[in-house]
Structure 1
Amino acid sequence: MTQIFTPPETRIAIVTGGARGIGAAIATRLAEDGHDVAILDLDREQCADSIRAVEATGRRGMAVSADVSDEDAVRRAVAQVADTFGSPTVLVNNAGVLRDASLSKMTVRDWDFVLDVNLRSAFLMSREMEPHFRATRWGRVVNLSSIAALGVFGEANYAAAKAGVQGFTKSLAIELGRFGVTANVVAPGFVITEMTREVARRVNLSIEDVTKEMMVNNWVGRAGIPEDIANAVGFFADV
């Protein structure tokens, strides 16, 4: 028998790493689409602009300070959102970091840090959200991967983490589908954000030079912007 899963009247989204860049654009897009939005980030104060953008749409916004690679912090953060807004129904695992180095120069600390923030956090957040999805009989998980999952020189840690996100998401879809939950991945290419600007500065290049280099294999003909990614996430959060 085919089951019909109906979305709740009040849709509540959690976006990790939503203080700036792609995460901030996602938070705004979800609010425009009718979600109340909670942003989880290390520094609650840095979320102020994102929260103002959410609230400008007429939806509720809140910021929670949390290290999403820490199990206890994740548990407290999701509970705080549920206590304030109600049971969350949409999870966007966007938090991510880079620690670039060639294999011979990469430290175990940098390997672990990138895997923890990019992959471990997606696992912890998804696991903590599962009871809410099951109770509501509806949920949407959108995980941010990257084309770097295909392999990039100097980013073995990041490539491994983002490839792991893709495999993890496929397993989520299989496990949680029977509860009305979908799980999808958005894998951006080169997007101009503060993080990519920081990378350019570290290698003593201008963002214009980096963009020109990245456009060699970019058939769209331009660099991505955060709103491009937010639009894709918004689609998966609602279908």
Structure 2
Amino acid sequence: MTILPISLPESFLKRPIAHRALHDVTAGRPENSRAAIHAAISAGYGIEIDLQLSKDAEAMVFHDYDLRRLIGETGPIQQRSSVELGNMTLKHGDEGVPTFAEVLKIVAGRVPVLVEMKDQDGAMGPRTGALEKATAEALAGYDGDVAVMSFNPHSVAAFAAHDSGRALGLTTEAFLQEDNPLIPAATRRYLRNIPDFERVGASFISHDASDLHNPAVARLKAQGVPILCWTVKSKEDEIEARKIADNITFEGYPA
């Protein structure tokens, strides 16, 4: 069954979007942290955040599947409860991992929030559902501008089964083997052509800035689909990206 698309709010096209919020470890603002969220709001940027699932099925604002890089603990995030994660300390900061519900309370509709649900299948397959349900539950009653996306089309469709009132998108790239060693070759070839756009009710994509000349991107742009891109890290790269993309997700410089 095809899902009817909801248009991407215009706010996502007006100001650059801070990748994993406006993080800067030299200023004590780790990625996806409350401090980075507050900084992005103060600067008037849109915010992009990542969601992972905790052991007790809470949507947590955290990028990695494993805790080592960002916290220094060992093991997957899914083996820790939301309370445990909240009591840990993010590297280069003084706070724990926030829940998605908490971040939404902080933002309170002041800036748009671009939400990426991380693939929970492991190979972009259909084993989805728990994170998507938790994401929809956290969003219940939230009136600010939110758009929800994932690299995994099954994840986007699973979210839509719980919340049909949000703009949905696909996070997309070239899906090269060196960048995605765990994804089967046939799946990578399939995904790089963005064939599920209409099926999952997507109204935008967020594409790898280094691959914006992909013919699949050109096809969607010709149809009037908003093109976001990730992750721009300099003003020079921003100028190039904006020749195709309608807006950027950025980090590491003042966009």
Using structure 1 for the length normalisation, give the TM-score: 0.37
User: Which structure: greater strand fraction?
Assistant: 2
User: Which structure: greater helix fraction?
Assistant: 1
Using structure 2 for the length normalisation, give the TM-score: 0.36
